[in-house]
Amino acid sequence: MNNRADTPVTIIGLGLMGQALAGAFLKVGHPTTVWNRTTSKADRLVAEGARLAPTVGDALTAGSLTIICVTDYKAVHELLSSSGIELDGTTLLNLTSGNSAQAREAAQWAEQRGAHYLDGAIMAVPSMIGTAEAVILHSGPQSDFEAHRSTLDALGTVTYLGADHGLASLYDMAGLAMMWSVLNAWLQGTALLRTAGVDAATYAPFAQQIATGVAEWLPGYAQQIDSGSFPAEASALETDARAMAHLIEESEAAGVNAELPKLIKAMADRSIAAGHGGEQYPVLIEEFSEPGDD
């Protein structure tokens, strides 16, 4: 990692994640200023060489890069709206989790007050911070990101997504959608197999192989989505829909929850009714691109 260790950094918010972020900067020698509402959470970092800012206002003027990592955007607004706050001397990088509208709104709010604002999303747990495994997504003006990229390298694999401040949150949400879909599919299969006495550990390696194999289809399927053309090269959607019916029948017969396969089949059935039964699975993007039923 290319890291200029003499660059000062400020971390506001010393929960589990904020402490890991500050610790990673201290580890490679950055002069690190910290602030937290509950001051005692700074004790270990101060013992390791961090400077404790007396107020959040002082923290924001300590250096040219301030990272905020608190519970949610409500907390960010509460912090930045308190009295004595100057935002025009620093680049604010907000690594607090939220949605894209919150990120765009926070960017507008901060920029109106003279701040350079980057939004980010952390795709890692605290123990991964400071290693290449910690993927941290950034969005906002590229020049602001590039100005601090070498400093941010101390945190892990830093990635720039684009000028739209909402992109980091959107990628975060897309990643969560992927994570829960894979886990839910695995749980459905595990519940089915347990009815035949197959335990979760026995099924897990098989499930892992399937998930990895399916993941390899994604780049090709993405080309179909981007071109808007879905020739059935491997199988047609109506073939998939018949297999979905088997999964529902199997689940119901085994006394296993069939809500998830029914939901998936309902989407496929709508697409088939709209004339897409002879096309390949990614044609369902049209179903996913509409609000749907609640």
Ligand X SMILES: NC(=O)c1ccc[n+]([C@@H]2O[C@H](COP(=O)([O-])OP(=O)(O)OC[C@H]3O[C@@H](n4cnc5c(N)ncnc54)[C@H](OP(=O)(O)O)[C@@H]3O)[C@@H](O)[C@H]2O)c1
Nearer to ligand X, 71 or 184 (CB): 71
CB 168 to ligand X: min, Å: 11
Q: Name the residue whose CB lies closest to ligand X.
A: 15
CB 200 to ligand X: min, Å: 24
CB 183 to ligand X: min, Å: 16
**Does residue 32 come out as left (phi exceeding 0), alpha (psi in the -120 to 50 range) or beta?**
beta
**Does residue 11 come out as left (phi exceeding 0), alpha (psi in the -120 to 50 range) or beta?**
beta
Nearer to ligand X, 71 or 131 (CB): 71
CB 153 to ligand X: min, Å: 18
Q: Kind of pairing, strands 135-139 and 116-123?
A: antiparallel
Binding site residues, ligand X, CB under 6 A: 13-18, 36-38, 41, 69-72, 75, 78-79, 96-97, 122, 125-126
Nearest to 137 by CA among 116, 166, 113: 166
| Contact status, residue 117 vs residue 91, Cβ threshold 8 Å | yes
Q: Which residues pair with 157 in a beta bridge?
A: 135
CB 97 to ligand X: min, Å: 3
Nearer to ligand X, 62 or 80 (CB): 80
Measured in degrees and rounded to the nearest 5, phi and psi for residue 128 equal: -85, -15
Nearer to ligand X, 129 or 247 (CB): 129
Quote the CA–CA distance of 84 and 54 in Å, as a whole number: 12
